[in-house]
């Protein structure tokens, strides 16, 4: 499992980051691959095959394990697993999470927009309060003074301090809208849009309708209340919630993709606080999951993102593909295996790979959509 989602070991290269586990601290961090070597001289190995594990390794490969009596992580070579009958896989870990997103500023994420600064003061007084170089690109009696993105970002603090109201819009003839939001609300918006959201653009017009489809009454009510808290006007019917905004249509497509096959999570969410990442994970499951906590998507990139997010939230997810859709499972039962039932000899048709990772000697890996913490060949 890499920071780009699951990647075949044959496709790994030096510098790519994989999720790695420190058994002493139980901390998981992204760590760079330092080397990958294809070894063709090994024809026989050891397999651990189980409903939640599918691992083929060289006989001397290190397998991390715990036991019912001792929850400290220990290691055994794969060929020595028969020395004991009952094993526990590594089932608990934690990440070093980032700070919470308190406020989301749309002007930090778009390059094309216009800021409108309205004031009850006389125009000369407002202009006099602005420093040299902070020049509006135009003035309108309805929206006030308008600033282009470079000017606004350079002088944002002073503009916000002297104006009575600052809003954002896509340009002339577009409605003004809020641009600063509570971080939790934006996390919810991303989750709902990624699951069932879309943007419809009118031909030959720079206008758009953002729709979030949701047939469940309770969820549709949540989405409507979310848009209302954000100050974005809504239209609601029995199938979806909509807002009209070219600016927010561009923002959501830029952050989250344009259709069901290109949806993704914005990279910044993986650096947020634990509470906000768990919040996003729950919204995703509410929007496109089922009562068994199975998440469905047609997007390969989003599937990788959801697998990453699940790992951040403490799950060892599994996935399968069927009819063009990814199904991502979130089992919550601790994984165990028995040497007599699940460990056996296996043949390698094309040898195996030796992986060198920086600092930490355990990575999340597996076959056929299953993942467990497994040792690497070398730490550097």
User: What are the pLDDT digits (tens) for 46-57?
Assistant: 999 999 999 999
% of residues, the chain, pLDDT over 90: 83
161, 144 Cβ separation under 8 angstroms: no
Residues paired with residue 174 on neighbouring β-strands, in sequence order: none
pLDDT of residue 359: 95
pLDDT digits over 297-334, tens only? 999 999 999 999 999 999 998 999 999 999 999 988 88
Confidence of residue 287 (pLDDT cuts 50, 70, 90): confident
The answer to whether 254 and 109 are in contact (CB under 8 A) is: yes
Looking only at the bridges linking them, the beta strands covering 27-39 and 94-95 are parallel
Residue 45 has pLDDT above 80, yes or no: yes
Residue 161, number of CB atoms within 10 A of its CB: 9
Q: Which DSSP string corresponds to 274-302?
A: HHHHHHHHHHHHHHH--TT-EEEES-HHH
- From CA 321, how far away is CA 100, in angstroms rounded? 34
What the block records as the tokens of 188 is 């919810």
Residues of the chain by 3-state class (helix, strand, coil), percent to 5: 30, 35, 40
- The whole-angstrom separation of Cα 100 and Cα 358 is 28
> What is the pLDDT averaged over residues 29-47?
94
What is d(CA 206, CA 169) in angstroms, rounded to the nearest whole number? 12
What residue ranges of the chain are covered by domains with CATH 2.170.16.10? 9-91+334-379
Enclosing H/E stretch for 23: none
- Write down the mean pLDDT value for the chain: 94
Handedness of CA 354, 357, 363, 364 (dihedral sign): negative
For the ranges 35-44, 120-129, 285-294, 300-309, the maximum mean pLDDT occurs at 300-309
Q: Supply 316's token pair.
A: 């060892």
Q: Which two tokens stand for residue 189?
A: 């918006």
Cα distance between residue 52 and residue 369, in whole Å: 9
pLDDT value at position 246? Answer: 94
- Does 81 have pLDDT greater than 80? yes
Mean pLDDT of the 11-17 span: 96
Supply the pLDDT for residue 293. 87
pLDDT at 360 over 90: yes
Mean pLDDT within 15-26? 96
Instruction: Delimit the CATH 3.10.28.10 region(s) of the chain.
Output: 182-321
Could you confirm whether domain 9-91+334-379 is CATH 2.170.16.10?
Answer: yes
- Span 245-261, pLDDT tens digits: 999 999 999 999 999 99
pLDDT more than 70, % of the chain: 99
pLDDT at 295: 94
pLDDT of residue 234 exceeding 70: yes
Q: How far is CA 221 from CA 5, 228, 240, 282, in A?
A: 33, 11, 10, 17
Domain 182-321, second-level architecture:
Roll (3.10)
Predicted confidence (pLDDT) at residue 204 exceeds the cutoff of 80: no
Give the strand order in the sheet containing 240-244.
197-201, 208-213, 240-244, 235-236
Exposure class string for 55-65: b at 16+ Cβ within 10 A, else e? bbbbeebbbbb
* Local confidence band at 289 (pLDDT 50, 70, 90 cut-offs): low
pLDDT for position 350: 87
Alpha carbon distances (Å) from 23 to 27, 68, 96, 187, 361: 7, 17, 15, 32, 9
């Amino acid at each position: 499992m890499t920071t780009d989602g699951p990647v075949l070991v044959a496709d790994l290269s030096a510098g790519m980051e994989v999720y790695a586990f420190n058994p002493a601290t139980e901390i998981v961090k992204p760590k760079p691959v330092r080397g990958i070597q294809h070894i063709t001289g090994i024809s026989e190995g050891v397999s651990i095959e189980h409903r939640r594990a599918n691992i083929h390794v060289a006989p001397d490969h290190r397998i991390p394990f715990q036991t019912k009596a001792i929850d400290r992580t220990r290691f055994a070579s794969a060929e020595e697993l028969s020395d004991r009958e009952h094993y526990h896989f590594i089932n608990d870990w934690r990440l070093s999470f980032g700070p919470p997103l308190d406020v989301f500023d749309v002007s930090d994420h778009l390059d094309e927009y216009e800021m409108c600064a309205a004031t009850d003061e006389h125009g000369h007084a407002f202009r006099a309060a602005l420093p040299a170089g902070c020049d509006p690109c135009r003035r309108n009696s309805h929206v006030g003074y308008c600033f282009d993105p470079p000017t606004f970002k350079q002088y944002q603090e002073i503009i916000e301090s002297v104006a009575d109201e600052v809003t954002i819009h896509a340009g002339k003839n577009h409605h003004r809208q809020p641009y600063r939001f509570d971080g939790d609300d934006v996390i919810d918006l991303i989750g709902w849009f990624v699951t069932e959201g879309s943007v419809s653009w009118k031909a030959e017009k720079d206008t758009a309708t953002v729709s979030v489809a949701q047939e469940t009454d309770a969820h549709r009510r949540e989405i409507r209340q979310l848009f209302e808290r954000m100050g974005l006007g809504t239209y609601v019917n029995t199938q979806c919630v909509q807002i009209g905004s070219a600016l927010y249509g561009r923002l959501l497509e830029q952050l989250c993709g344009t259709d069901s096959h290109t949806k993704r999570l914005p990279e910044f969410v993986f650096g947020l606080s634990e509470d906000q990442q768990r919040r996003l994970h729950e919204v995703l499951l509410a929007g496109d999951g089922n009562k068994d906590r199975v998440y469905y998507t047609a997007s390969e990139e989003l599937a990788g993102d959801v697998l990453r997010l699940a790992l951040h939230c403490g799950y060892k997810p599994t996935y399968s593909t069927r009819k063009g859709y990814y199904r991502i499972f979130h089992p919550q039962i601790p994984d165990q295996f028995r040497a007599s039932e699940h460990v056996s000899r296996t043949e390698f048709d094309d040898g195996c790979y030796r992986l060198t990772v920086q600092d930490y000697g355990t990575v999340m890996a597996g076959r056929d959509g299953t993942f467990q913490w497994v040792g690497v060949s070398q730490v550097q």
